[in-house]
Amino acid sequence: MTSSLLIKDLQVSVDNKLILKGLNLEVKQGEIHAIMGPNGSGKSTMAYALAGHPKYEVEGGEVWMDGINLLELAPDERAKMGLFLAFQYPTAIPGISMANFLRTAVNAVKSDSSNGNGKKGIPIVQFRKILNEKMDLLKIDKSFARRYLNEGFSGGEKKRAEILQLALLEPKFAILDETDSGLDIDALKVVSEGVNALVGPDRGFIVITHYQRILNYIKPHFVHVMYDGQVVESGGPELATRLEVTGYDELVKEKAK
Protein backbone atom coordinates (compact mmCIF):
# COMPACT_ATOMS: atom_id res chain seq x y z
CA MET A 1 0.00 0.00 0.00
CA THR A 2 1.28 3.42 -0.87
CA SER A 3 1.69 5.74 2.08
CA SER A 4 1.21 9.42 1.98
CA LEU A 5 2.41 12.30 4.09
CA LEU A 6 -0.55 14.55 4.63
CA ILE A 7 -0.02 18.00 6.11
CA LYS A 8 -3.28 19.65 7.15
CA ASP A 9 -3.60 23.28 8.17
CA LEU A 10 -0.21 23.27 9.93
CA GLN A 11 0.45 26.32 12.10
CA VAL A 12 3.83 26.73 13.73
CA SER A 13 5.44 29.48 15.74
CA VAL A 14 9.05 30.14 16.67
CA ASP A 15 9.79 32.33 19.71
CA ASN A 16 6.11 33.25 19.87
CA LYS A 17 6.04 34.45 16.28
CA LEU A 18 3.66 32.62 13.99
CA ILE A 19 5.57 31.46 10.91
CA LEU A 20 3.45 28.74 9.32
CA LYS A 21 -0.09 29.96 8.93
CA GLY A 22 -2.08 26.98 7.78
CA LEU A 23 0.08 24.89 5.49
CA ASN A 24 -1.53 22.15 3.39
CA LEU A 25 0.38 19.58 1.36
CA GLU A 26 0.08 15.93 0.41
CA VAL A 27 3.06 13.89 -0.73
CA LYS A 28 2.68 10.27 -1.79
CA GLN A 29 5.45 7.67 -1.92
CA GLY A 30 7.07 7.80 -5.35
CA GLU A 31 6.46 11.54 -5.75
CA ILE A 32 8.94 14.38 -5.72
CA HIS A 33 7.60 17.73 -4.56
CA ALA A 34 9.67 20.88 -4.77
CA ILE A 35 8.95 23.63 -2.27
CA MET A 36 10.15 27.01 -3.42
CA GLY A 37 9.73 30.45 -2.03
CA PRO A 38 11.53 33.58 -0.95
CA ASN A 39 13.57 33.84 2.26
CA GLY A 40 11.37 33.95 5.33
CA SER A 41 8.42 32.26 3.68
CA GLY A 42 8.55 29.37 6.18
CA LYS A 43 10.21 26.62 4.10
CA SER A 44 12.79 25.60 6.71
CA THR A 45 10.27 26.04 9.52
CA MET A 46 8.14 23.45 7.79
CA ALA A 47 11.10 21.07 7.61
CA TYR A 48 12.02 21.46 11.28
CA ALA A 49 8.42 21.27 12.46
CA LEU A 50 7.85 18.05 10.52
CA ALA A 51 10.96 16.50 12.06
CA GLY A 52 9.91 17.68 15.53
CA HIS A 53 12.49 20.26 16.60
CA PRO A 54 11.51 21.36 20.14
CA LYS A 55 11.95 25.06 19.34
CA TYR A 56 9.21 24.91 16.70
CA GLU A 57 5.91 25.19 18.53
CA VAL A 58 2.96 23.58 16.77
CA GLU A 59 -0.08 25.85 17.24
CA GLY A 60 -2.48 23.83 15.17
CA GLY A 61 -2.96 21.32 12.39
CA GLU A 62 -2.11 17.68 11.78
CA VAL A 63 0.51 15.66 9.91
CA TRP A 64 -0.65 12.17 9.02
CA MET A 65 1.44 9.20 7.96
CA ASP A 66 0.21 5.61 8.00
CA GLY A 67 -2.74 6.52 10.20
CA ILE A 68 -0.66 8.28 12.84
CA ASN A 69 -0.47 12.00 13.57
CA LEU A 70 3.30 12.57 13.55
CA LEU A 71 2.95 15.72 15.61
CA GLU A 72 2.21 13.57 18.64
CA LEU A 73 5.51 11.71 18.33
CA ALA A 74 9.03 12.52 19.53
CA PRO A 75 11.61 13.19 16.80
CA ASP A 76 13.18 9.72 17.10
CA GLU A 77 9.75 8.08 16.76
CA ARG A 78 9.06 10.08 13.63
CA ALA A 79 12.34 8.84 12.19
CA LYS A 80 11.34 5.28 13.02
CA MET A 81 8.04 5.86 11.19
CA GLY A 82 10.09 6.59 8.08
CA LEU A 83 10.56 10.36 8.04
CA PHE A 84 13.95 11.84 7.25
CA LEU A 85 15.25 15.40 7.23
CA ALA A 86 18.45 16.28 5.40
CA PHE A 87 19.58 19.34 7.33
CA GLN A 88 20.64 22.59 5.75
CA TYR A 89 23.13 23.08 8.60
CA PRO A 90 24.02 19.69 10.11
CA THR A 91 25.35 19.87 13.67
CA ALA A 92 28.85 18.68 14.54
CA ILE A 93 29.21 16.15 17.34
CA PRO A 94 32.84 15.75 18.37
CA GLY A 95 34.16 12.38 19.47
CA ILE A 96 31.52 10.33 17.66
CA SER A 97 32.79 8.66 14.49
CA MET A 98 30.62 8.69 11.39
CA ALA A 99 30.67 4.88 11.31
CA ASN A 100 29.54 4.57 14.91
CA PHE A 101 26.83 7.17 14.44
CA LEU A 102 25.55 5.67 11.20
CA ARG A 103 25.38 2.18 12.61
CA THR A 104 23.59 3.41 15.74
CA ALA A 105 21.11 5.30 13.59
CA VAL A 106 20.49 2.37 11.24
CA ASN A 107 19.95 0.05 14.19
CA ALA A 108 17.63 2.54 15.86
CA VAL A 109 15.50 3.08 12.77
CA LYS A 110 15.47 -0.46 11.49
CA SER A 111 15.35 -2.41 14.73
CA ASP A 112 11.99 -3.90 15.32
CA SER A 113 11.57 -4.54 19.00
CA SER A 114 8.82 -7.06 18.27
CA ASN A 115 11.08 -9.52 16.45
CA GLY A 116 13.32 -10.14 19.43
CA ASN A 117 16.66 -9.46 17.75
CA GLY A 118 16.13 -5.72 17.62
CA LYS A 119 18.72 -5.10 20.33
CA LYS A 120 21.53 -6.76 18.47
CA GLY A 121 20.95 -4.89 15.26
CA ILE A 122 22.74 -5.30 12.00
CA PRO A 123 25.97 -7.33 12.10
CA ILE A 124 29.02 -5.10 11.82
CA VAL A 125 30.46 -6.86 8.77
CA GLN A 126 27.22 -6.55 6.85
CA PHE A 127 26.91 -2.92 7.90
CA ARG A 128 30.44 -2.18 6.66
CA LYS A 129 29.60 -3.64 3.29
CA ILE A 130 26.45 -1.59 2.89
CA LEU A 131 28.23 1.54 4.13
CA ASN A 132 31.02 1.07 1.59
CA GLU A 133 28.54 0.66 -1.25
CA LYS A 134 26.67 3.81 -0.33
CA MET A 135 29.88 5.78 0.11
CA ASP A 136 31.02 4.72 -3.35
CA LEU A 137 27.71 5.86 -4.74
CA LEU A 138 28.20 9.31 -3.26
CA LYS A 139 31.91 9.40 -4.12
CA ILE A 140 32.81 9.65 -0.46
CA ASP A 141 36.31 8.66 0.60
CA LYS A 142 36.53 5.63 2.91
CA SER A 143 38.40 7.63 5.53
CA PHE A 144 35.18 9.56 6.04
CA ALA A 145 33.81 6.78 8.24
CA ARG A 146 36.49 7.38 10.86
CA ARG A 147 35.99 11.13 11.09
CA TYR A 148 33.94 12.71 13.83
CA LEU A 149 30.35 13.47 12.90
CA ASN A 150 30.24 16.64 10.79
CA GLU A 151 33.26 18.03 12.62
CA GLY A 152 35.46 20.07 10.34
CA PHE A 153 33.45 18.96 7.30
CA SER A 154 33.37 21.29 4.32
CA GLY A 155 29.95 22.44 3.09
CA GLY A 156 29.96 19.80 0.39
CA GLU A 157 31.05 17.05 2.76
CA LYS A 158 28.24 17.90 5.15
CA LYS A 159 25.64 17.67 2.41
CA ARG A 160 27.04 14.40 1.14
CA ALA A 161 27.01 13.05 4.68
CA GLU A 162 23.33 13.93 4.92
CA ILE A 163 22.54 12.08 1.70
CA LEU A 164 24.63 9.15 2.90
CA GLN A 165 22.39 8.97 5.96
CA LEU A 166 19.35 9.12 3.73
CA ALA A 167 20.72 6.24 1.67
CA LEU A 168 21.35 4.11 4.76
CA LEU A 169 18.13 4.85 6.63
CA GLU A 170 15.90 4.32 3.58
CA PRO A 171 12.98 6.44 4.79
CA LYS A 172 9.49 6.55 3.28
CA PHE A 173 9.61 10.32 3.10
CA ALA A 174 12.68 12.51 2.86
CA ILE A 175 12.79 16.28 3.25
CA LEU A 176 15.84 17.93 1.70
CA ASP A 177 16.24 21.35 3.29
CA GLU A 178 18.18 23.56 0.84
CA THR A 179 20.56 20.72 0.09
CA ASP A 180 21.84 22.77 -2.84
CA SER A 181 22.92 25.75 -0.77
CA GLY A 182 26.66 26.22 -0.55
CA LEU A 183 27.43 23.59 -3.18
CA ASP A 184 29.48 24.27 -6.28
CA ILE A 185 28.27 22.78 -9.52
CA ASP A 186 30.36 19.59 -9.26
CA ALA A 187 29.27 18.89 -5.71
CA LEU A 188 25.67 19.62 -6.65
CA LYS A 189 25.92 17.03 -9.44
CA VAL A 190 27.29 14.36 -7.14
CA VAL A 191 24.69 15.04 -4.48
CA SER A 192 21.87 15.11 -7.01
CA GLU A 193 23.00 11.86 -8.57
CA GLY A 194 23.03 10.37 -5.11
CA VAL A 195 19.50 11.54 -4.50
CA ASN A 196 18.30 10.33 -7.90
CA ALA A 197 19.65 6.88 -7.13
CA LEU A 198 17.37 6.86 -4.10
CA VAL A 199 14.25 7.97 -5.94
CA GLY A 200 11.74 5.19 -6.35
CA PRO A 201 8.17 4.07 -5.80
CA ASP A 202 8.76 3.50 -2.07
CA ARG A 203 9.96 6.99 -1.31
CA GLY A 204 8.46 10.45 -1.39
CA PHE A 205 10.62 13.59 -1.49
CA ILE A 206 10.11 17.16 -0.43
CA VAL A 207 12.89 19.20 -1.99
CA ILE A 208 13.12 22.62 -0.39
CA THR A 209 15.06 25.11 -2.43
CA HIS A 210 15.41 28.80 -2.98
CA TYR A 211 16.69 28.39 -6.51
CA GLN A 212 15.55 26.46 -9.49
CA ARG A 213 19.09 25.18 -10.14
CA ILE A 214 18.85 21.85 -8.23
CA LEU A 215 15.61 21.06 -10.07
CA ASN A 216 17.63 20.70 -13.27
CA TYR A 217 19.13 17.61 -11.67
CA ILE A 218 16.34 16.35 -9.44
CA LYS A 219 13.17 16.43 -11.52
CA PRO A 220 10.10 17.20 -9.42
CA HIS A 221 6.62 15.99 -10.24
CA PHE A 222 5.07 18.93 -8.42
CA VAL A 223 6.24 22.41 -7.56
CA HIS A 224 4.76 24.51 -4.77
CA VAL A 225 5.46 28.10 -3.91
CA MET A 226 5.38 29.15 -0.28
CA TYR A 227 4.80 32.69 0.83
CA ASP A 228 4.10 34.00 4.31
CA GLY A 229 3.63 30.56 5.82
CA GLN A 230 1.29 29.10 3.23
CA VAL A 231 1.41 27.36 -0.12
CA VAL A 232 0.21 30.05 -2.51
CA GLU A 233 0.69 28.29 -5.83
CA SER A 234 1.07 24.70 -6.95
CA GLY A 235 1.82 23.27 -10.35
CA GLY A 236 4.02 21.01 -12.40
CA PRO A 237 7.73 21.39 -13.22
CA GLU A 238 6.91 24.32 -15.51
CA LEU A 239 6.10 26.45 -12.46
CA ALA A 240 9.75 26.35 -11.41
CA THR A 241 10.87 27.42 -14.86
CA ARG A 242 8.36 30.26 -14.86
CA LEU A 243 9.59 31.43 -11.44
CA GLU A 244 13.16 31.48 -12.68
CA VAL A 245 12.07 34.02 -15.29
CA THR A 246 9.55 36.11 -13.36
CA GLY A 247 10.89 35.84 -9.82
CA TYR A 248 8.89 35.49 -6.61
CA ASP A 249 7.83 39.14 -6.47
CA GLU A 250 5.89 38.90 -9.67
CA LEU A 251 4.02 35.81 -8.54
CA VAL A 252 3.23 37.27 -5.14
CA LYS A 253 1.94 40.52 -6.68
CA GLU A 254 -0.20 38.49 -8.99
CA LYS A 255 -1.62 36.59 -6.02
CA ALA A 256 -2.32 39.76 -4.11
CA LYS A 257 -4.60 41.03 -6.84
Partner 1 sequence: MSETFNVNLDEYKYGFSVPENYAFKARKGLDEDIVREISWMKKEPEWMTAYRLRGYRHFMERPMPRWGGRGMLGGIDFSDIYYYIKPTDAEKAFESWDDVPEDIKNTFDRLGIPEAEQKFLSGVGAQYESEVIYHSIIEDLEKKGVLFLDMDAGLREYPDLVKEYFTTVIPPEDNKFAALNTAVWSGGSFIYVPPGVHIDLPLQAYFRINAQNMGQFERTLIIVDEGAYVHYVEGCTAPTYSTNSLHSAVVEIIVKEGARCRYSTIQNWSHNVYNLVTKRAQAYRNATMEWVDGNLGSKLTMKYPAVWLMEEGAHGEVLSIAFAGKNQVQDAGGKMVHAAPNTSSVITSKSISKGGGRTTYRGLVKVAPNAENSKSNVVCDALILDEESASDTFPYIEIENQNVSIGHEASVSKVSEEQLFYLMSRGIPEDQAANMIVSGFIEPIVKELPMEYALEMNRLIEMEMEGSVG
Binding site for partner 1 (CB under 8 A): 51-55, 74-76, 78-80, 84-85, 87, 90-91, 93-96, 101, 104-105, 108-109, 148-149, 165, 169
Smallest distance from partner 1 to CB 134, Å: 15
Smallest distance from partner 1 to CB 47, Å: 10
Q: Which is nearer to partner 1, 22 or 121 (CB)?
A: 121
Q: Are 49 and 61 in contact (CB under 8 A)?
A: no
Q: Which is nearer to partner 1, 54 or 116 (CB)?
A: 54
For 52, 69, 77, 86, 195, the CA distances from 72, given in Å and listed in that order, are: 9, 6, 10, 21, 29
Smallest distance from partner 1 to CB 135, Å: 17
Q: Which is nearer to partner 1, 12 or 240 (CB)?
A: 12
Q: Where are the alpha helices (DSSP H) in the chain?
A: 43-51, 75-81, 98-110, 124-137, 155-169, 185-198, 237-256
CA distance 20 to 1: 30
Q: Which is nearer to partner 1, 81 or 188 (CB)?
A: 81
Q: Are 63 and 71 in contact (CB under 8 A)?
A: yes
Residues with Cβ within 8 Å of residue 24, at least 6 apart in sequence: 7, 8, 9, 10, 231
Q: 25-61 as b/e, with b when 16 or more CB fall inside 10 Å?
A: bebebbbbbbbbbbeebbbbbbbbbbbbeeebbbeeb
CA distance 51 to 142: 29
Q: Which is nearer to partner 1, 57 or 244 (CB)?
A: 57
Q: Choose among 70, 72, 58, 62: nearest CA to 18.
A: 58
How far is residue 156 CA from its own chain's centroid?
Answer: 16
Q: Choose among 164, 192, 157: nearest CA to 34.
A: 192
Smallest distance from partner 1 to CB 99, Å: 13
Q: Which is nearer to partner 1, 164 or 232 (CB)?
A: 164
Smallest distance from partner 1 to CB 85, Å: 6
Smallest distance from partner 1 to CB 239, Å: 29
Smallest distance from partner 1 to CB 61, Å: 20
Q: Which is nearer to partner 1, 166 or 251 (CB)?
A: 166
